[in-house]
Amino acid sequence: MKIGIVGLGLIGGSLGFDLRAAGHEVLGVSRQTATCEQAIALGAVDRASAEFELLSAAEAIFLCTPLGVMPQTAEALVPYLSPAAILTDVGSVKASVVETLEPLWHRFVGGHPMAGKETAGIAAAQAGLFANRPYVLTPTARTDSEAKATLEHLIRALQSNYYECSPAQHDRAVAWISHLPVMASASLIAACQQEPEATTLALAQALASSGFRDTSRVGGGNPALGRMMAQYNREELLRSLQIYRQSIDRCILLIEQHRWDDLERHLTETHQARPQFADKA
Amino acid sequence: MKIGIVGLGLIGGSLGFDLRAAGHEVLGVSRQTATCEQAIALGAVDRASAEFELLSAAEAIFLCTPLGVMPQTAEALVPYLSPAAILTDVGSVKASVVETLEPLWHRFVGGHPMAGKETAGIAAAQAGLFANRPYVLTPTARTDSEAKATLEHLIRALQSNYYECSPAQHDRAVAWISHLPVMASASLIAACQQEPEATTLALAQALASSGFRDTSRVGGGNPALGRMMAQYNREELLRSLQIYRQSIDRCILLIEQHRWDDLERHLTETHQARPQFADKA
């Protein structure tokens, strides 16, 4: 197939590597000419351009820009698409994206490849990024089933673990396992920094080790990404944060009331529940 | 020196390996005869016994039992100690331990080697466990300075990073970086499990990856250990939990009020603060 990729960053570039390896012709679009040249040089795309015209014969297009510019990018793109072209996106939040993009194109299917790295940009792109990682499509009642089937086929060829759910269910699930952890983890760092005694804060910082490191990792990540998650998945994130707050309150209550057996039972439940959360990374 | 170790588990056994390697004679006491035999066979101690009498000539004794049995173990032990013997413990909470043990022995110094593993018991003991890890002594106004100096010398020979602070300051610091993370992390797992829709919970579990794994790790740990932390460091943990709760509330407020610039600024602060927490693990 002829496959278009709009936005040649970590995700777009990595898709390019794998789709080319699978025998497809990959056409990349980036606003930056330097990025286009780099993507060609790295072998992430066959051809690249700053103009959407390059995609006029593409049969499937992956929209790989940041969430914030997806609507205007899609609007600018659709006049160039051939009538049967399939359009999908890779945004980490789905309800708002699908709501905006679905009316723009009759063969649109929302998607979310759940792969990432600490580093961004075309230079970080790599083959095999999506292998053994979840890739979720979020069809609706309006979704063209043939378009979805074609995408599913492309995604399974990436060796991804394929999932399908509604945009709303996707957003609720990722609020739990991706967006809430960022806020809980950031709040941990923020709370520690509230320690009023400078020598105690310095001691805490010196004594911190693997437990603190792991718990604080996602809270010390990319601030712009954290903001975006909250902005685009606001309602589901708020809902999970409220339930999390109740969970913290419960913990405080048990400790305040010296209910040590109840606390141990509670920690036994979390100990037993954790392995149910897939751990394929 | 002749060094005694009471409690031959992960910490006691690992101390034995390193102290023997440093040329000391290591005498181990465990209630379990099988553990004594295993410690000798592994080379963690020179001699071992279920009786405290073995330690009558020991010059320094490390109390390595669980926190809960330290007071009664120390009380039973002191009648056997030679007058100049130095007594220290390895408990992960210090104020309550020091308060109880200090009156029992004039040459007692509280301590906390901050090293651990997922596994427990003499079979998990290993040489070098304390190298490049913090080891805190918590002297008070009553502490014998010569006893403290001797222990400092032994600890530095373990290649540990040596720290000294008051028991109260220790407990406040570890509440921030060790005990609060356990409760924040456990509350994350507990909150996710509150999801009422079974299919959404199953999807969340399937989609969870490294971010969730890291943030939930210490909350999925040993329930008895978590209970012990809370029980013995109750006040400092409650204080840190209250501040953490305010930190979560602030996060909720910013998101509720669509204050995206403030949220990004907040996440930028946590991003910048995290590297100040030592990461030598």
DSSP per-residue letters across B63-87:
E-S-GGGHHHHHHHHGGGS-TT-EE
Q: Partners of B136 in the beta sheet?
A: B112, B163
Output the pLDDT for position B167: 98
Query: What integer best gives the mean pLDDT of chain B?
Result: 96
Output the pLDDT for position B279: 61
A96 pLDDT exceeds 50? yes
The model's pTM is 0.92
* Portion of chain B with pLDDT greater than 70, in percent: 99
Nearest CA in chain A to B241: A252
Q: Mind listing the pLDDT tens digit for each residue in B122-167?
A: 999 999 999 999 999 999 999 999 999 999 999 999 999 999 999 9
What SS3 class is residue A262?
helix
Q: Which of A4, A2, A233 is nearest to A105 (CA)?
A: A4
* Portion of chain A with pLDDT greater than 90, in percent: 95
Please indicate whether, in this complex, the C-beta atoms of A216 and B274 are within 8 angstroms of each other.
Answer: yes
Q: What's the rounded Cα separation, in Å, for the pair A77 and A85?
A: 12
Q: Read off the pLDDT of each residue in B53-61 and give the average, rounded to a whole number.
A: 98
CB A36 within 8 A of CB A13: no
Neighbours of A164 (CB within 10 A): 16
Output the six-digit token pair for B36.
């004594």
Nearest CA in chain B to A227: B264
Q: Which of B116, B147, B146, B121 is nearest to B134 (CA)?
A: B116
Within this chain, domains A2-165 and A169-276 share the same CATH topology: no
Neighbours of A253 (CB within 10 A): 12
A21 shares contact with chain B (CB less than 8 Å): no
Q: Mind listing the pLDDT tens digit for each residue in A21-60?
A: 999 999 999 999 999 999 999 999 999 999 999 999 999 9
A173 pLDDT exceeds 90? yes
Record: fold of B169-276: 6-phosphogluconate dehydrogenase C-terminal fold (1.10.3660)
B35 pLDDT exceeds 60? yes
Record: fold of B2-165: Rossmann fold (3.40.50)
Output the pLDDT for position A118: 72
B281 pLDDT exceeds 90? no
B119 shares contact with chain A (CB less than 8 Å): no
Does the ipTM exceed 0.90?
yes
Substitution target from B162, B176, B210 for chain A, most A beta carbons within 10 A: B176
Q: Read off the pLDDT of each residue in A110-135 and give the average, rounded to a whole number.
A: 92
Query: What integer best gives the mean pLDDT of chain A?
Result: 96
| pLDDT classification of A135: cutoffs 50, 70, 90 | very high
Output the pLDDT for position A279: 61
Domain boundaries, chain A: 2-165, 169-276
- The DSSP H or E segment spanning A187 is helix A180-192
User: Residue A128 — left, alpha, or beta (φ > 0 → left; ψ -120 to 50 → alpha)?
Assistant: left
Output the pLDDT for position A116: 76
A280 pLDDT exceeds 50? no
